[in-house]
Amino acid sequence: MDGRPEIYLAGPEVFLPDPWARAAEMKAVCARLGAVGWFPMDNQGDVADADPDVMAAKICAADEALVARCDAIVANMSPFRGPSMDAGTCYEMGLAKGLGKLVVGWTEDRRLWREKVALVSPLVAEGEGFRDAEGMLCRDFGLVDNLMMVKGAHGVFACFEDAVRFVVGRLGR
């Protein structure tokens, strides 16, 4: 575009009743801080299809192409439909990481991962972590989400604006 870092804005905001309003707010923050924000739906103009499987494939391909085009990803890691972040956002973060992009997360929910997991399954302390009701280990690293998501990112910030500011500081041209 014009030398400003281009950022893919990942997260469950696409499921809001009015995702375009939230997209406009996020893009305005990016612009004010010296970046260009791209919302997943910006690249989905030609995805409609009568066949749901075909449409799903088109949405996936469009989002992957937009991630590949951008310099960085800023991902909303807030819990979504469970103790962890949106699964599609996880995928996009991994894709961006694999493509060598700057991967940054944000969440206003600063509770520890184990505290969030405990809301859906009682945890019992054992050795280096906790066991849930099914006997599965939940390691306590003092992180806000799964260790692969937190440590796979270049940073996880407490708000969207701080995450964008970090990207601009690293990639600003």
> Dihedral sign, CA of 114, 117, 118, 121?
negative
For the entire predicted model, the pTM comes to 0.94
Mean pLDDT, the chain, rounded, equals: 95
Instruction: Quickly state the pLDDT bin for 2 (edges 50, 70, 90).
Output: confident
DSSP annotation string for 79-119: --SSSS--HHHHHHHHHHHHTT-EEEEE-S----HHHHHHT
pLDDT of residue 127: 86
pLDDT of residue 10: 98
The whole-number average pLDDT for the span 43-72 is 95
The whole-number average pLDDT for the span 5-22 is 97
The whole-number average pLDDT for the span 9-36 is 97
Topology (CATH level 3) of domain 6-109+146-171:
Rossmann fold (3.40.50)
Asked whether residue 1 carries a pLDDT value surpassing 80, the answer given is: no
pLDDT of residue 44: 85
- Summarize pLDDT for 133-144 with one digit per residue, the tens: 999 999 879 999
Looking up tokens 């599609």, which residue turns up?
A: 88
The whole-number average pLDDT for the span 32-37 is 98
Going from N- to C-terminal start, the domains of the chain cover 6-109+146-171, 111-143
Instruction: Quickly state the pLDDT bin for 103 (edges 50, 70, 90).
Output: very high
